[in-house]
Amino acid sequence: MPIPVPALIIGAGLFLMRSSFSGILLGGVMTMAAMHLWPEHMAMPYEWVGKGLQLLGL
């Protein structure tokens, strides 16, 4: 069973975010690239974040 593209992107982002500054820069670049290349796959994680923020009242 192949690993879905969003799972690979999220996993790579978490791996890169182990160090503070380079993690923020590389994680941001990877997120922008993923949103550009696979917008239909990246919508779901952002919907989860939005729903979580709504539950918190933010």
Tens of pLDDT along 1-28?
687 888 888 887 777 667 677 777 877 8
The HSE-up count of residue 55 (CA atoms within 13 Å, CB side) is: 6
* CA 19 centroid distance within chain: 16
Return the pLDDT at 1.
65
Per residue in 25-50, pLDDT tens? 877 888 888 888 888 777 777 778 88
Nearest to 31 by CA among 15, 8, 11, 9: 9
| φ, ψ at 3 (rounded to 5°) | -80, 130
Task: Supply the Cα-derived Rg of the chain in whole angstroms.
Answer: 13
Does this model's pTM top 0.75? My answer is no
Element (H, E) at 32: helix 20-37
Return the pLDDT at 19.
66
